[in-house]
């Protein structure tokens, strides 16, 4: 046999233009299973069970202590109270989360089955036999882990999971003063002049031409000592003049407009984005965030998009000098829904 043939036979490839590698990585298989102490000794198993339960109970105690620390160490103007509150509050939350995590890990390492299983992955939906086998494995895992059988672990886990989120209820509920009626009212009141955004120049009715659009803020907004952005976010208005013949107004709301001039809130009733795009031919207002569309000629009714309510209308008129003024505040809350809203 020639040297070339011997080499081909030795390396398991045929002569030709391409070579075929015969050496492949062999499957090393699974390592031998090592029996744990909890598998050998029932006493060790019971001790591990008590340790897991103790960790879950420690988590519950930590969560309860976090609630206690929140009230026991209130934050005042003294910076030292901030440090104390942060320290003990953080300790309680840490133990609450640490106990759950460490308890779950200790449970898995000492009491749950640790035998390794190797199975082929399937990219498509399994057959009914495979799915039935999967359900059987889940039930078997429940039996082997002892979740339903180990009442102490199960109840302590329930207690820790139930108490852990409770501190957040107190923290989030006290982040700031309650809004009260502030979401229902804006800066607009009877006699407040409509001014141009952002300069605050008063607007005369004669300046509003057919089809023109004005971005409006209430007079005095720029002079506020604080919370300017919050007030502007509620009081921003879009002012448009239409042909009075095109307006479809409820008889009770005819006095809310003046000679075809209408004012509507700029705050979208979906999630509060500013509605600033106006289509003159269709009289539609478009929210650029989620494409909610409002019919300006039909009391800003929703014609498209996720918004669920029309834009609130600001009743307007003119004063003795011909300037546009508000008749009152909005007759309904502006912007998106909130929990206490009833309409």
CATH number of the domain residue 302 falls in = 2.102.10.10
CA distance 222 to 217: 9
Separation of alpha carbons 234 and 272, rounded Å: 9
Are both 138 and 253 inside the same structural domain?
Answer: no
The predicted pLDDT at position 326 comes to 95
* CA distance linking residue 151 with residue 72, whole number of Å: 34
Q: Supply the pLDDT for residue 222.
A: 85
If asked whether residues 102 and 202 sit together in one domain, one would say: no
Closest to 38 in 3D by CA, of 28, 29, 51, 26: 51
227 and 151 fall within a common domain = no
* Cis status, amide bond into 198, omega within 30 of 0: yes
179 lies in a domain? Answer: no
166 domain-assigned: yes
Residue 262 has pLDDT above 90, yes or no: yes
Question: 72 and 153 share a domain?
Answer: yes
Residues 208 and 322 in one domain: yes
182-207 average pLDDT score:
90
Question: Which pLDDT score is estimated for 176?
Answer: 63
Which pLDDT value is given to residue 121? 67
Residue 41 lies in a domain: yes
pLDDT for 81: 87
Q: Are 186 and 224 in contact (CB under 8 A)?
A: no
Q: Which residue has the higher pLDDT, 220 or 182?
A: 220
Q: Distance (Å, rounded) from C-alpha 186 to C-alpha 230?
A: 10
- Distance CA(229)–CA(215), nearest Å, equals 15
Average of per-residue pLDDT across 270-278 = 90
Residue 192's pLDDT band (cuts 50, 70, 90): very high
Same domain as 217, residue 153? no
Do 329 and 237 meet the contact criterion of CB atoms below 8 Å apart? no
Note whether 160 and 208 are same-domain residues: no
Residue 149 has pLDDT above 70, yes or no: yes
Are 271 and 163 part of one and the same domain?
no
Beta carbons of 188 and 314 less than 8 angstroms apart: yes
What is the pLDDT of the chain when averaged over all its residues? 84
At 23 the pLDDT is 57
Q: What are phi and psi of 111, to 5 degrees?
A: -115, -30
Is residue 96 assigned to a domain? yes
The confidence score (pLDDT) of residue 195 equals: 94
Per-residue pLDDT at 321 exceeds 90:
yes
Instruction: Tell me if 12 is assigned to some domain.
Output: no
Residue 281 maps to a domain: yes
Contact 192, 328 (CB under 8 A): no
pLDDT band at 288; cut points 50, 70, 90: very high
User: How many Å apart are CA 86 and CA 267, to the nearest integer?
Assistant: 38
For strand 277-279 and strand 284-286, is the pairing parallel, antiparallel, or unpaired? Answer: antiparallel
- Kindly state the tokens that stand for 79: 């910076």
Helix axes of 166-173 and 42-72: crossing angle, nearest 10 degrees? 10
* Domain match, 307 and 267 both: yes
Tell me, yes or no, whether 204 and 141 share the same domain.
no
Q: Looking at the structure, tell me whether residues 144 and 238 fall in a common domain.
A: no
If pLDDT is split at 50, 70 and 90, which confidence band does 14 have?
low
Q: Is residue 338 part of a domain?
A: no
Q: Residue 217: which H helix or E strand, with range?
A: strand 213-218
Total number of domains in the chain: 2
Would the pLDDT of 6 be above 80? no
What percent of the chain stands above pLDDT 90?
40
207 lies in the same domain as 322: yes
pTM as predicted: 0.53
Residue 210's domain comprises 194-326
pLDDT of residue 22: 57
> In the predicted model, is pLDDT for residue 220 greater than 80?
yes
Residue 341: inside a domain, yes or no?
no
């Amino acid at each position: 046999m020639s040297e070339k043939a011997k080499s081909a036979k030795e390396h398991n490839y045929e002569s030709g233009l391409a070579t075929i590698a015969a050496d492949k990585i062999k499957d090393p298989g699974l390592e031998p299973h090592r029996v744990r102490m909890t598998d050998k000794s029932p006493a060790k198993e019971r001790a591990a069970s008590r340790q897991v339960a103790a960790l879950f109970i420690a988590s519950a105690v930590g969560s309860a202590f976090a609630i206690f620390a929140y009230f026991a160490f209130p934050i005042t103007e003294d910076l030292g109270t901030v440090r104390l509150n942060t320290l003990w509050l953080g300790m309680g939350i840490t133990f609450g989360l640490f106990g759950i995590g460490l308890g779950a890990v200790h449970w898995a390492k000492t009491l749950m089955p640790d035998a390794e299983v190797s199975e082929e992955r399937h990219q498509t939906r399994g057959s009914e036999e495979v799915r039935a086998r999967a359900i059987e494995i889940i039930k078997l895992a429940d039996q082997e882990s002892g979740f339903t059988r180990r009442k102490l672990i199960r109840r302590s886990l329930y207690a820790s999971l139930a108490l852990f989120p409770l501190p957040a209820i107190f923290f989030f509920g006290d982040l700031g003063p309650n809004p009260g009626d502030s979401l229902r009212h804006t800066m607009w009141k009877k006699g407040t002049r409509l001014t141009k955004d952002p300069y605050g120049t008063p607007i005369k009715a004669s300046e509003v031409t057919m089809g023109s659009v004005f971005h409006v803020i209430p007079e005095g907004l720029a002079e506020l000592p604080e919370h300017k952005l919050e007030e502007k976010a509620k009081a921003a208005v879009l002012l448009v003049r239409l042909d009075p013949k095109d307006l479809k107004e409820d008889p009770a709301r005819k006095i809310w407009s003046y000679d075809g001039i209408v004012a509507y809130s700029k705050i979208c009733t979906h999630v509060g984005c500013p509605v600033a795009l106006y289509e003159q031919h269709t009289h539609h207002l478009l929210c650029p965030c989620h494409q909610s569309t409002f019919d300006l000629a039909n009391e800003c009714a929703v014609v498209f998009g996720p918004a669920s309510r029309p834009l609130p209308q600001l009743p307007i008129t003119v004063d003795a000098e011909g300037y546009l003024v508000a008749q009152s505040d909005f007759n309904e809350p502006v912007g998106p829904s909130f929990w206490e809203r009833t309409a």
